[in-house]
Amino acid sequence: MHQPSLQDCLAFHALQLHHRAIAGRQMRSLFADDPARFSRLSLDAAGLFLDYSKNRIVDETITLLCALARERGVGAQRERMFAGEKINTTEERAVLHVALRAPHAGGADGSEVGAQVQAVLMRMRDFSDRVRRGAWLGASGKALTSVVNIGIGGSFLGPKMACHALRKQRHPGLDFHFISNVDASELDALLPRLDPHTTLFIVASKTFSTAETMMNAQSARAWLVGHCGAAAIARHFVAVSTNREAVTAFGIDAANMFGFWDWVGGRYSVWSAVGLPVMLAIGADGFGQFLAGAHAMDTHFRTAPLEANMPVLLALLGIWYRNLFGCSTLSIAPYWQDLQYLPGYLQQLDMESNGKHVALDGSTVTLATAPVIWGDVGTNGQHAYFQLLHQGTELVPVDFITVLQEPKQLGAHHKALLANCFAQSAALMRGRTAGEVADELRAQGMAADRIAALAPHRAFDGNRPSNTILLPEMTPHALGALIALYEHKVFVQGVVWGINSFDQWGVELGKALAKDVEAALRATAEPAAAGQDCSTAGLVARARASAAPADATDPP
C-alpha cells in the first residue's frame, strides 16, 4: 500500500515552519530562561537515564515531533512487530528479536516461538556451564581456556562488543577472541598464541556458507587438525547455524549446533545463540540478566506514551537534526573504556538498517535517511575529533554515554572521566563568545591588539546538540537495556522515513561480484575480462602479476 512521502505529511509541514521559527535560538538562553529545563527534558527507563535538555528544542518541538510519529503510524507498526507480523516485507519475514528476550514469548505464524527460544537457551546454558566448570574437555583431556568466535557482521560485532563491555563479569579462566576479517593477518596473528589442546572455536553463520566466516573456519579447522587430528573437531568446534547438513559436513556434531531463526536479523542476533560467547563469558544467569535488561526496555517502548518514551524521543530528535537541520552524521561518545566497540556496533545497527533510499512501496525516498554513525571512547576522542565538534563547519549531534558507579580501584580516574563527559556536553551547548575570550585574555594582561587577533580563534559558537545517557553501573541488565534502546530508536526512524529497516540488499552486489573477481584471481590461465570494467580488470591483472605461487594449503 502506498504511503505518502514524509514531506507530504501535515505534521512535517508544521515541523518545517517551527524549525524556521526557532532554529536560531541559543540553548544557552533557553537554559538561562528556564531553571527547570533539565528536570523536564530528562527521563528514566529500564534503569537508564536520558538527559535530552541540551538539544535545540522547546516544548512545542516535542509535541510536533510526536505528532509526526503518530501520523506516520509508529504505534501501529510497533504493535505489528511485537505481534510477529511480517513487517520485513522484502524478505517476507517477521521481526521478532524482541521474542528472544521475552520471558513468556508468544507465538508467530502458528509456532510456539517462546518454547523454541527457551529450548535453545537451555542447551546453551548446559554447554556454557560445562565449559565454565571445566567439565567440557578437549580431545587431549584438558579443560578449555580460550574461546575463538568466528563470524562477521552481527555474528561478530554483537558478541565482541558485549564481551568487552562486560569485562568485569567475565569468567577469569577464559580468554575470548573474535575473528571476522577474511584478511589472513587476523588469524595469522592469533593462532600462534593459542594452545590447540585448550581452544574452543564457535563458528557463527546462519547458512554456514558466509564466505568470510567459512574461509576462516576452514583455516582454523586445518590448524586444529594439524595439531590434534580430525577427531578433535568434535570437542573443539561448535556451530551457531540453521544448516544442519553443512555443519555436519564440516565435522561438527549436530548435537553441538545451536540454532536460530529467519526472524532474527544478523544485527539483532546477539540475544540468540549468536550470543553464546557472551553466555560463556558471564554465565547463563548473567546472560539472563542481559536479556532481562532488553526486555525491560521493550516493555517501556511498547507501553510508555510517545512524549515520555526514551527510544521514541531519541529517534525523533535524530529526525529533527537529520531532516530539518541537515545533519549528516551522529557521533557516539561512550565515556567508558569497556564500551570501546559500541560505536562500531551501533554503526552497523543504524546504517545497515536505515541506509536506504527506497521506500516500502518501492518508490525513491526524497528526504535523507540514516546519518553516518561514528565515534570513539572518551577521553580519547577529545584529543582527536572534538575540535571539529566544537568549531567545525558541520553541525554534529553527539550521544554521550557513561556509567555512574565508581570503580573500587582508581576512583579518582572515574571522577575525572565523568567531569570530562559532563563538561564536554556543556561546552558544546554553551560555546564561548568573543567577549568572554577577550575578558579572559585581558585578565591575563594581554595587549589589546593581540586580544583582537586571537579572540576569533578562541571563540566558538556553541549551540551544538547532545544527549547524555547514564548507566547506573556496567551490568548485563544495563547493557541489554542500552542496546535495546538503540534498536528501537532505529526502528522508529525507519517507520517515520517509510523504509524497511530489516533487509540489507545493498551489501549483496559487492559480495556477488567478489566471487567472479576471486575466480579471476585464482585462475591458472589469463582470465577473460568479460563483464568487468577496465578498472577492475586492470586491478586483477596487477594483482595476478605480483602474486606468489598459490599455497597448496590454502582452503578451497
Catalytic residue list contains 352: yes
pLDDT in tens, 309-359: 999 999 999 999 999 999 999 999 999 999 999 999 999 999 999 999 999
CA 186 to chain centre: 22
Rounded to 5 degrees, φ, ψ at 175 are: -105, 145
Residue ranges of domains in the chain: 7-71+305-430+464-503, 110-287, 512-546
**pLDDT score of 227:** 97
Catalytic residue list contains 457: no
Q: What is the DSSP letter of 242?
A: S
Catalytic residue among 352, 414, 477, 487: 352
What's the grid cell of residue 196? 590447540
**pLDDT score of 529:** 67
| Closest C-alpha to 104, from 81, 87, 82 | 82
CA distances from 491 to 238, 249, 354, 457 (A): 32, 38, 9, 41
d(CA 450, CA 510): 56
**pLDDT score of 3:** 82
Fold match between domain 7-71+305-430+464-503 and domain 110-287: yes
CB 187 within 8 A of CB 220: yes
DSSP of 171-197: -TT-EEEEE--SSHHHHHHHGGGS-GG
Query: Could you give the angle at which helices 476-497 and 276-303 cross, rounded to 10 degrees?
Result: 60
92: left (phi over 0), alpha (psi -120 to 50) or beta: left
Q: Are strands 237-240 and 199-204 parallel, antiparallel or unpaired?
A: parallel
pLDDT < 70 stretches in the chain: 1, 104-111, 529-530, 548-556
Catalytic residue list contains 2: no
**pLDDT score of 119:** 94
Q: What is the DSSP letter of 460?
A: B
What's the grid cell of residue 97? 528479536
Bridge partners (DSSP) listed for residue 238: 202
CA 382 to chain centre: 22
Helices in 238-364 by DSSP H: which ranges? 244-250, 276-303, 310-319, 342-354
Query: Could you give the angle at which helices 74-82 and 59-71 cross, rounded to 10 degrees?
Result: 60
Residue type at 194 in one-letter notation: L
Superfamily of domain 7-71+305-430+464-503: Glucose-6-phosphate isomerase like protein; domain 1 (3.40.50.10490)
| Closest C-alpha to 356, from 191, 495, 150 | 495
CB 220 within 8 A of CB 150: yes
**pLDDT score of 406:** 87
- Specify the DSSP element, H or E, that contains 199: strand 199-204
CB 361 within 8 A of CB 294: no
DSSP of 67-105: HHHHHTTHHHHHHHHHTT---BTTTTB---GGGGG-TT-
d(CA 168, CA 166): 6
Question: What is the arrangement of strands in the sheet containing 466-471, beginning at the earlier edge strand?
Answer: 42-45, 48-51, 466-471, 398-403, 329-335, 372-375
CB 208 within 8 A of CB 254: no
Catalytic residue among 168, 383, 413, 457: 383
Q: Which fold has domain 110-287?
A: Rossmann fold (3.40.50)
Catalytic residue among 13, 413, 457, 511: 511
